[in-house]
Chain A
């Protein structure tokens, strides 16, 4: 690995880069990683594009040693619990997945999107500001959504139905992919593959089937609203899985609400007339600034970015006369792409 530098002058060898990357991983693993450290790391990576890959490789080698299930739940705030359970973890390593028998809680912060592999081969992709509990029992795989939203790709296992509860709404699948978002008074369900059955816990016996491409709102009182949009609508609604907000004719108000789900820095619509306007584009969930700039560019509205906690869009009282008429409010703006 640490062979001599060949060819072009002082080009660092792959092995030398890998050694430096290992040092960064050790440093990242220590206590007290600061914003200043992050800047130094960014600078190191920026100096040679290969370094980013070496860091990923070294980091993967290091996290590959983590016990599969318990580490996935070990968020920073759970550290204490995790430490206390050290003995239990060592035991569960020997005994397979005993650890999961009691149910596992996963929590994401605002802006955090996390993909969690479950022990049965299914995966849960957990959206911003969400809490779910997973219990994999021998007869039934259960997920309870305490708040927020998650998308599940369910490993086929006819003997163990996969059941998601969001308040009073229950969704059951055997092997399929779907998302559930808990809302006040019900839940949104989007099916991306296969079929799921949905029912309200109170309306015993009455079940509705949803197939791939369908989305629906289920009320706690068993009221159902199914919509068959174009297939692309489903992908758009789930763009958050790849860290994107995909807008196609959504209103500005809707988009603002979406961005505020993912960011502590809130967007504030100071000009209410903007709320009903439509906007197109693909934005990063963590880039409310970019979205505000797109509104600024397409609708000619002023931005106030002086507040670190909020971005105010538009003046509440003034309409700029000349500019207001020259840039029509219905103009569609395409935001920046998130993928190459």
Chain B
């Protein structure tokens, strides 16, 4: 019993630690990997799957502290997954696989990496775009630091109802991130020098 609980607590702490690291080092730059996948010819559903699988690899790590360049690490996982997927689809000629490395990713500069870590302004932006009730609850939870229970008492509702709004918030935020990514990608597409794939 003791070891099970302790193990669970350690797992939970490790998961959270990894999530904080991902939020800081990967999430702000995920759109660059997505843009690269698109140039390399991956369909949107495939991109979703590959990205999810790459996050899965990160989630399996015992620790992330030893990773010196998180973006490059994440990118190389996605790249390897794409290569593996192309190899499985026998119809794709070998040259196509070799070609994917010709589509350069927009590797973030050190300044962009530093900016990504401080992208709290963007997070506030995203909160502002939530539907009203959801936004109010997320603000109380994240900016004011109230617990879900305190929010429920304050709003005269149940904790389950608050939890549901948090759920909607997380879903919305995920979509908002990818929407923001889309915007960034469109912007980048205009300046695209090397043509990957016609759109």
A296 located at the interface, meaning its Cβ lies under 8 Å from any Cβ of chain B in the complex: no
Q: For the side of the interface on B, what is the size category?
A: 35 or more
A residues less than 8 Å from B24 (CB atoms): 64, 117
B residues less than 8 Å from A244 (CB atoms): 62-63
B residues less than 8 Å from A26 (CB atoms): 163-164, 166-167, 169-170
B106 located at the interface, meaning its Cβ lies under 8 Å from any Cβ of chain A in the complex: no
Segment among A10-18, A247-255, A271-279 that sits at the interface with chain B: A10-18
A residues less than 8 Å from B26 (CB atoms): 60
**Provided the pairs A3-B45, A125-B65 are in contact, do residues A83 and B146 lie with their beta carbons within 8 angstroms?**
yes
Q: Mark B31-49, 1 if CB is under 8 A from A, else 0.
A: 0000000000000010011
A322 located at the interface, meaning its Cβ lies under 8 Å from any Cβ of chain B in the complex: no
Partner of B59, one of A6, A38, A55, A265: A55
B102 located at the interface, meaning its Cβ lies under 8 Å from any Cβ of chain A in the complex: no
**Provided the pairs A27-B163, A57-B52, A115-B21 are in contact, do residues A18 and B174 lie with their beta carbons within 8 angstroms?**
yes
**Cα distance A338–B60 when bound, in Å?**
11
A260 located at the interface, meaning its Cβ lies under 8 Å from any Cβ of chain B in the complex: no
Q: Is the interface of A mostly helix, strand, loop or mixed?
A: helix
B108 located at the interface, meaning its Cβ lies under 8 Å from any Cβ of chain A in the complex: no
Q: Is the CB of B22 within 8 A of A65?
A: no
**Cα distance A61–B149 when bound, in Å?**
21
**Cα distance A331–B28 when bound, in Å?**
50
B132 located at the interface, meaning its Cβ lies under 8 Å from any Cβ of chain A in the complex: no
Chain A residue nearest to B49 (CB atoms) is A14
**Provided the pairs A18-B174, A35-B5 are in contact, do residues A57 and B55 lie with their beta carbons within 8 angstroms?**
yes
Interface residues of B in 117-159 (CB under 8 A from A): 117-120, 123-124, 126-127, 138, 141-149, 159
Q: Is the CB of B143 within 8 A of A67?
A: yes
Q: Is the interface of B mostly helix, strand, loop or mixed?
A: helix
B residues less than 8 Å from A33 (CB atoms): 12
A25 located at the interface, meaning its Cβ lies under 8 Å from any Cβ of chain B in the complex: yes
**Cα distance A33–B159 when bound, in Å?**
13
B20 located at the interface, meaning its Cβ lies under 8 Å from any Cβ of chain A in the complex: yes
A293 located at the interface, meaning its Cβ lies under 8 Å from any Cβ of chain B in the complex: no
Segment among A85-93, A158-166, A197-205 that sits at the interface with chain B: A85-93
B residues less than 8 Å from A42 (CB atoms): 8, 11
Nearest-neighbour CB distance to chain A for B59, whole angstroms, equals 4
A63 located at the interface, meaning its Cβ lies under 8 Å from any Cβ of chain B in the complex: yes
Nearest-neighbour CB distance to chain B for A265, whole angstroms, equals 7
**Cα distance A65–B53 when bound, in Å?**
23
**Cα distance A111–B3 when bound, in Å?**
13
B residues less than 8 Å from A264 (CB atoms): 6
For chain A, the count of residues having a C-beta within 8 Å of the partner chain is 72
- The 29 sampled A-B contact pairs (Cβ below 8 Å) are A1-B174, A14-B49, A15-B48, A22-B174, A29-B163, A30-B149, A31-B148, A35-B4, A50-B52, A50-B56, A52-B59, A52-B60, A56-B55, A57-B52, A58-B170, A61-B27, A62-B19, A67-B142, A68-B117, A72-B20, A89-B144, A112-B13, A113-B63, A114-B17, A115-B17, A125-B65, A241-B66, A244-B63, A289-B3
Interface set of A (CB-CB < 8 Å, partner B): 1, 3, 6, 14-15, 17-19, 22-23, 25-31, 33, 35, 38-39, 42, 49-50, 52-68, 72, 74, 82-83, 85-86, 89-90, 93, 111-115, 117, 121, 125, 241-244, 264-265, 284, 286, 289, 308-309, 338-340
Interface set of B (CB-CB < 8 Å, partner A): 1-24, 26-27, 45, 48-49, 51-66, 114, 117-120, 123-124, 126-127, 138, 141-149, 159, 162-164, 166-167, 169-171, 173-175, 177-178
User: A65-B123, A117-B117, A286-B10 provided; 6 other pairs, C-beta below 8 A?
Assistant: A22-B167, A23-B167, A25-B170, A38-B8, A57-B51, A89-B145
